[in-house]
Every structure is written in structure tokens, then in C-alpha cells.
């Protein structure tokens, strides 16, 4: 358990609902996920926030997951002016043209097969590691891939929640 709460947690707990919803939307684009976290405020600890985020993620429907994934740009192509995606996808920053081309090809094939972007917690991963994971996961059956996507989204959400409450 977290023994001290970062100042950002108190700030987040005290935000007006619209501002808190906007902050949560930056973490996860699912409105159902954000609504569940808003209903659980105030959080006594960062661990409580994480647990609420995990519980909300576990309850997301297929449509909610699709909404969450729509908030993530393809690996190797962060949205211009989106510092979060650029930071998370830093492993692709110095990628060779060949690696970028491979990622584009694999991303398109993945999207065609599964109907959504390839989602991976890219923080700390190299471009090659992301390409290799994409190459492996494209062979998954849809049910297995949905499980993996939910787990990866959970990792991303926790990293983003940590950043949200650590900032003051």
C-alpha cells in the first residue's frame, strides 16, 4: 500500500466533475471507464485509484473497449501534438525506415484482421520489441487477442494514472 499520497491525488479528488472527466479521458478514452472512476471518487490512496481503474476496465464491454482503443494511435504514428503517445512510443523515435515500413505493414494487417489498432504498452519497449510482439500477436485467435488487449490497456492506464496523480 502507498503510505503517502502524492499531492496530485488530492488535486484530482478535488477537481470539478467535468475537469476530472477530461483528465480521465486523457488516461483512457472509454467514457464508461471514466464514469466508473468518477463515481468512486474520492480516492484515499493511489492504490485505491489503481484498483478502481482495474475494476472498471474488467467491466468494459466490447463497445467500451473499442472506444478506449480508438483513443490510441497506431504504433509508430503518434498523433501530431500528442506528447503522451510520443512519449509512450519513444522506442520508435529512432527506428529505421525499414522498421517503420514493417510496422506499417503489420499494423494494417492486424487492423484488417481484428478491426482495431494494435494495442501494446509501448513504454520502455524498443521498436524491434514492438514489431516482434505485433508479429506474434497477429496469429492469435480473436478471443485471445481481446484478453491481451484488455491486459495491455490496463498497463497503459496504470502508467497514465500514475502520471496524473504524481503531477502537481
**Domain carrying residue 15:** 7-166
**CB 162: neighbour CB atoms within 10 A?**
16
pLDDT of 45 over the 80 cut? yes
| Residues 75/130, Cβ–Cβ less than 8 Å | yes
pTM of the model: 0.88
Share of the chain above pLDDT 90, in %: 70
Write the CB contacts of 100 (distance below 8 Å, at least 6 apart in sequence): 76, 92
Q: In the chain, how many domains are there? A: 1
Please write the tens of the pLDDT for every residue from 101-156: 998 899 999 999 999 999 999 888 998 999 999 999 999 999 999 999 999 999 99
Q: Within the chain, where are the H helices?
A: 7-14, 17-27, 31-40, 46-58, 62-70, 83-88, 97-114, 127-137, 142-166
Q: For the purposes of burial, counting CB atoms within 10 Å of the CB of 31, is it exposed (0-12), middle (13-18) or buried (19 or more)? A: middle
Please give the pLDDT value at position 124: 87
Residue 156 lies in a domain: yes
Residue 2 lies in a domain: no
Residue 103 lies in a domain: yes
Residue 105 lies in a domain: yes
Please give the pLDDT value at position 3: 46
> What backbone phi and psi angles, to 5 degrees, belong to 136?
-70, -45
Residue 1 lies in a domain: no
Residue 43 lies in a domain: yes
User: What CATH number is attached to the domain comprising 71?
Assistant: 1.10.3330.10
Amino acid at each position: 500500500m502507498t503510505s503517502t499520497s502524492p499531492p496530485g491525488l488530492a488535486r484530482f479528488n478535488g477537481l470539478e466533475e467535468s475537469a476530472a472527466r477530461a483528465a480521465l479521458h486523457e488516461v483512457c478514452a472509454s467514457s464508461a471507464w471514466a464514469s466508473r472512476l468518477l463515481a468512486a471518487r474520492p480516492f484515499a490512496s493511489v492504490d485505491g485509484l489503481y484498483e478502481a481503474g482495474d475494476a472498471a476496465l474488467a467491466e468494459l464491454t466490447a463497445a467500451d473497449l473499442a472506444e478506449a482503443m480508438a483513443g490510441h494511435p497506431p504504433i509508430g504514428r503518434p498523433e501530431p501534438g500528442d506528447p503522451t503517445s510520443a512519449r509512450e512510443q519513444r522506442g520508435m523515435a529512432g527506428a529505421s525506415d525499414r522498421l517503420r515500413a514493417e510496422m506499417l505493414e503489420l499494423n494494417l494487417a492486424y487492423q484488417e484482421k481484428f478491426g482495431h489498432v494494435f494495442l501494446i504498452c509501448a513504454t520502455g519497449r524498443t521498436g524491434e520489441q514492438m514489431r516482434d510482439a505485433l508479429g506474434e500477436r497477429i496469429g492469435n485467435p480473436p478471443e485471445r487477442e481481446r484478453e491481451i488487449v484488455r491486459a495491455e490497456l490496463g498497463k497503459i492506464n496504470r502508467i497514465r494514472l500514475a502520471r496524473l496523480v504524481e503531477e502537481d
